[in-house]
Amino acid sequence: MLPFKTLLKIDKNSAEAVFKQLASQLVLLIQKGILLPDMQLPSTRLLAADLDLHRKTIMAAYNTLIAEDWLISKERKEYRVSTLLPIIKPRTYASKAKSSYKAEPAIIFDGMEHVPSFPQINANPKVIIDDGFPDVNIFPVERVSAEYKRLLTHQTLKKTNTSWNIGGSPVIKETLTSFLNDTRGLNIETENLMVTRGAQMAIYLAASLIIRPGDKVLVTDTSFFLADAVFRQLGAQLVTVPVDHEGADVDAIADALENNNIKLLYIIPHHHHPTTVTMSSERRAKLLELIRTHRLAVIEDDYDYDFQYQYSPYLPLASGSHDGHVIYIGSLTKVLGSNFRLGYMIATPGFLQSAVKLKMLIDLRSDALMEGTVASLMQSGEFSRFIMKANKLYGYRCDYASNLITNELGHLVEFKKPQGGMALWLKFNENYPLSGIINKASASGLQLVGVPYLKGKDLAYDAIRFGFASLNEHELEFAVEVLKKITPSK
Amino acid sequence: MLPFKTLLKIDKNSAEAVFKQLASQLVLLIQKGILLPDMQLPSTRLLAADLDLHRKTIMAAYNTLIAEDWLISKERKEYRVSTLLPIIKPRTYASKAKSSYKAEPAIIFDGMEHVPSFPQINANPKVIIDDGFPDVNIFPVERVSAEYKRLLTHQTLKKTNTSWNIGGSPVIKETLTSFLNDTRGLNIETENLMVTRGAQMAIYLAASLIIRPGDKVLVTDTSFFLADAVFRQLGAQLVTVPVDHEGADVDAIADALENNNIKLLYIIPHHHHPTTVTMSSERRAKLLELIRTHRLAVIEDDYDYDFQYQYSPYLPLASGSHDGHVIYIGSLTKVLGSNFRLGYMIATPGFLQSAVKLKMLIDLRSDALMEGTVASLMQSGEFSRFIMKANKLYGYRCDYASNLITNELGHLVEFKKPQGGMALWLKFNENYPLSGIINKASASGLQLVGVPYLKGKDLAYDAIRFGFASLNEHELEFAVEVLKKITPSK
């Protein structure tokens, strides 16, 4: 007899009935080929003794598996693995290779060299400095679990199964349209909105519809690196304008429009990524005029509008007068955390119809359960209360981190406290180069996971985004202490 | 005083405390601009009387909102809306347009004309014939809810927030690798697998890495229309080979390879979409040889391998000897339903590294909660039992639908019972053209939502996929009865 006592791990404290656990684990043994077709199983009496279980439990498990066609029984005594198991015994028609997937390179493909690889996270750092994420400790886990449970019914699943809500289910489109109109002074209808997997997918879809290889795209220097990478992937040539303490230089944009055939402008007027600068009202008005005059297609990326620590934020460009030229992109992910990738794109109905068709080729369905959950939170007012709560917390942390860094690291880094958002833009003193700091910090339990912006091609200084929103006072203090202790190494 | 009795809808039977409901609804009134900044609220006594609630309930709601900075209170008597509400009072810097998003066309963009629009579902049809979906009535909703609840903790969210599992979290990669090795005779490691939003995203990613504008892609005539659309979107030229009762014509593939510079072959050897034919073992062996000889890049789409009604299915091409040239794509969506878009791509590690980079530009994170839930079901053996259960049910329905259609519609449609999958391929008699049938069926409560394949350019007959898996006997009988009663209209 096989060593069932070792092979079968039964947890008597589990909520799952023991006979069901037993049945599932026997299925795994069959699937793994440990129990082979036609192999005889031990009698219920024998297995019961071996596993120290009641015989009736074994019988219940065997009977379940007989009903499901995994086992067959002869005269209710002898139990054998079925010889007719569709999912475990495929026919081979060619001598099997050890693994064909060791051969490399096999296919000729785009190596994606222009896209940076992602930073690896070390095992269990004490504190992680991200580049601007929410604090998931305030996430309403119980409320969301309950809502998910309420929605996860056969009826909901059936409805989702047969509807094609590629750009979002009706309930999230209606609720989100209303939320955006209320909070951002937009004046849109549901036909102006589609839902995407995060803002990133919205950027990809919008850019793919507009850009053809060789087209010129105007971006700030520097800009959000994953947007730059999308434009490069689509074959665009990037033309840059500087960004200063008032945001993107709009005079430079005007010049670029005169001197180049610009197909698209990508811009982040609130809390510019990476530099966190908010564009002034004068420049916004001037930029809207340029957009209208030049009939300039614009992607306005407003990824963390919801976090504003100085009262009365500016309206997005999208809420101004732009004759439909501003594609407005945002995300709820910065509110709810990375697990809830709910981005959106606002544009004219015709543009969105094409965007939905392109999305269909990439991601056929939206996530109806997540959308339903978020819509319910919005409809009840809880979502707005949650944002207010987060705003208060992050505003406090913005002050706390700013004071701490000014006092403790003022001689090493330079930054300007942002009007909102979730990160500081730390410029490193040239005696204190970032490249030498990251590894040393990591060795002390502090991991910097934001992309390091190193002095060189584009920048005159080393810099990194220091996300403060996700860290409490102790974590902020630990981070600053580690950074302070690191000896500059040139 | 505002008509609060009408404006505030309190549900005393809700699980949510009344004071919390009240607080959230007052926030919505503030956000909607019904309660304006500095506006005085009714006294607790007055509002309590108006709403027929206890005064302490009103006080609890007001105090909650004071703590959250929505209200301010003077001497604990007078309650006013705060004048400092960040998320509701943005500054405008330009005269506001009514809505700039009415202007069309504004931006020059790809109209995506080559992609068909999606069929609209009528309001509440009695029966929907899909093109091959699972029956969500057998979906284990309680088990999945419980698992989701178990995973949705601050700890899990924190982990997800700071890890970059673009191609799937470690747990789903390990579990799925093992599942595919067990069920499909693959011999892969986790480095050979990435997770995507459904098979569709995997097709898009793989094709994007391989195809450059003008490249020739070999497909069957007909083929899965959303794959064709992806290739066209990427600028490929489609070269076609016929598909007959043994699957794609491999001799024609050999000819095409001799006569054309083919960059990629897209093929569905199991239950070909749309025709449901399974490729014979002889042709599979021959095709593998062609792949090796020509070093031909192949996308093998195996979207519903898990459903096989004749015992011992063929192994996928991917499990044979192909020197890494076969990119194997599949999905758990056909098992779990459209809400759970969990596709995967199997390829060499180098190819997948590029695919992950491209995915990062489109969809930055995978869905860790869904992945954790599915992994847990797989690890316990419940997933395999679920597939077995579904297999038995769908196999029965395949027989039932086939017999019914043969008996009742044999004079109008032609089909061959498939070896597996979830749909029949019904070819319509030329006296019974599909275009006249769809609307008439819809009027009788039967909606055909699969894409109709109409006689013309590619096909010598009208045809549609008739999904049987999601329909019980009564629904199948209703569908066939409606189709039978429709008078042919030429």
Cβ distance of B339 and A88 shorter than 8 Å: no
A182 vs B354: which has the higher pLDDT: B354
| Upstream peptide bond of B57 is cis (omega within 30 degrees of 0) | no
Residue A128 scores a pLDDT above 70: yes
Residue B454 scores a pLDDT above 90: no
Helix or strand (DSSP H, E) at B265: strand B262-267
- Residue written as token pair 């709910």: A342
pLDDT at position A96 is 56
Work out the percent of chain A whose per-residue pLDDT is above 70.
96
Smallest CA–CA distance, residue B408 to chain A, in Å, is: 26
A116 vs A322: which has the higher pLDDT: A322
HSE, side-chain direction, 13 A CA sphere, residue B27 = 33
- Best-predicted range by mean pLDDT among A30-34, A154-158, B137-141, B434-438? B137-141
From the list B327, B316, B304, B141, the residue with the least C-alpha distance to B224 is B304
pLDDT at position A457 is 66
Residue B105 scores a pLDDT above 90: no
H-state helical runs in A190-240:
198-210, 225-233
pLDDT at position A91 is 66
Residue B252's pLDDT band, with cuts at 50, 70 and 90, is very high
Which residue of chain B comes nearest to A228, CA vs CA?
B361
Nearest to B136 among A93, A146, A154 (CB): A154
- Best-predicted range by mean pLDDT among A182-191, B177-186, B214-223? B214-223
Cβ distance of B188 and A101 shorter than 8 Å: yes
Q: Which of B297-311, B345-359, B394-408 has the lowest mean pLDDT?
A: B297-311
C-alpha dihedral sign at A342, A347, A353, A358:
negative
Smallest CA–CA distance, residue A206 to chain B, in Å, is: 9
Cβ B223 vs Cβ B248: under 8 Å: no
Q: Per-residue pLDDT tens for B142-171?
A: 999 999 999 999 998 888 877 778 999 999
Tell me how crowded residue A311 is: count the other CB atoms within 10 A of its CB. Answer: 14
From the list B329, B324, B330, the residue with the least C-alpha distance to B351 is B324
A380 vs B99: which has the higher pLDDT: A380
Cβ distance of B161 and A85 shorter than 8 Å: no
Cβ distance of B361 and A87 shorter than 8 Å: no
**In Å, how far are B18, B26, B60 from B13, measured between CA atoms?**
9, 19, 18
Mutate one of A7, A36, A82, A100 to test the B interface: name it (highest B CB count within 10 A).
A100
Cβ distance of A322 and B233 shorter than 8 Å: no
Amino acid, single-letter form, for residue A357 = K
Query: Over B384-418, what HEC string results?
Result: HHHHHHHHHHHHHHHHHHHHHHHHHHCCCEECCCC
Residue B122 scores a pLDDT above 90: no
Cβ distance of B90 and A185 shorter than 8 Å: yes
Residue B5 scores a pLDDT above 50: yes
Helix or strand (DSSP H, E) at B256: helix B250-259
Nearest to B106 among A94, A188, A348 (CB): A348
From the list A187, A158, A444, the residue with the least C-alpha distance to A319 is A187
Cα–Cα–Cα angle for B424, B429, B431, nearest 5°?
150
Mutate one of B109, B194, B294 to test the A interface: name it (highest A CB count within 10 A).
B109
Q: Per-residue pLDDT tens for A191-240?
A: 999 999 999 999 999 999 999 999 999 999 999 999 999 999 999 999 99
Residue A89 scores a pLDDT above 60: no
Cβ distance of B337 and A160 shorter than 8 Å: yes
Q: Per-residue pLDDT tens for A368-383?
A: 999 999 999 999 999 9
What DSSP designation does B309 have?
S
The rounded distance, in Å, linking the Cα atoms of B48 and B302 is 63
Residue A488 scores a pLDDT above 70: no
Query: Over B335-392, what HEC string results?
Result: HHCCCCCCEEEECCHHHHHHHHHHHHHHCCCCCHHHHHHHHHHHHHCHHHHHHHHHHH
Task: Report the mean per-residue pLDDT for chain B.
Answer: 91
SS3 A372: helix
C-alpha dihedral sign at B162, B165, B166, B169:
negative
Residue pairs between chains A and B whose CB atoms are closer than 8 Å: 487
Residue A319's pLDDT band, with cuts at 50, 70 and 90, is very high
Residue A265 scores a pLDDT above 80: yes
Work out the percent of chain B whose per-residue pLDDT is above 70.
96
Task: Report the mean per-residue pLDDT for chain A.
Answer: 91
Nearest to A118 among B166, B308, B367 (CB): B166
The rounded distance, in Å, linking the Cα atoms of B178 and B300 is 19
Nearest to B91 among A92, A315, A389 (CB): A315
Q: Which residues of A touch B92 (CB under 8 A)?
A: 185, 315, 319-320
Which residue of chain B comes nearest to A343, CA vs CA?
B363
Q: Say what the ipTM of the complex is.
A: 0.92
pLDDT at position B488 is 63
Smallest CA–CA distance, residue A285 to chain B, in Å, is: 6
Q: What is the pLDDT averaged over residues B430-445? A: 88
Nearest to A141 among B31, B84, B153 (CB): B153
Q: What is the pTM of this model?
A: 0.92
Tell me how crowded residue A83 is: count the other CB atoms within 10 A of its CB. Answer: 12
Q: What is the pLDDT averaged over residues A263-267? A: 98
Long-range pairs for B471-477: beta carbons < 8 A, 24 or more residues apart: B471/B127, B471/B129, B471/B135, B471/B397, B471/B401, B472/B135, B472/B397, B473/B397, B473/B400, B475/B127, B476/B397, B476/B400, B476/B401, B476/B404, B477/B404
Cα–Cα–Cα angle for A378, B197, B188, nearest 5°?
145
pLDDT at position A118 is 74
Residue B21 scores a pLDDT above 60: yes
Residue B490's pLDDT band, with cuts at 50, 70 and 90, is very low
| CA A476 remoteness from chain centre | 24
SS3 A169: coil
Q: Which of A150-154, A309-313, A473-477, B90-94 has the lowest mean pLDDT?
A: B90-94
Domains and CATH numbers, chain B: 4-81 (1.10.10.10), 127-134+386-485 (3.90.1150.10), 165-380 (3.40.640.10)
Residue B350 scores a pLDDT above 50: yes
Which residue of chain B comes nearest to A313, CA vs CA?
B90
Q: What is the pLDDT averaged over residues A394-418? A: 96
Q: What is the pLDDT averaged over residues A250-270? A: 97
Residue A490's pLDDT band, with cuts at 50, 70 and 90, is very low
Residue A15 scores a pLDDT above 90: no
Q: Which residues of A touch B184 (CB under 8 A)?
A: 90
Cβ distance of A348 and B105 shorter than 8 Å: yes
pLDDT at position B83 is 83
From the list A180, A159, A179, the residue with the least C-alpha distance to A169 is A159
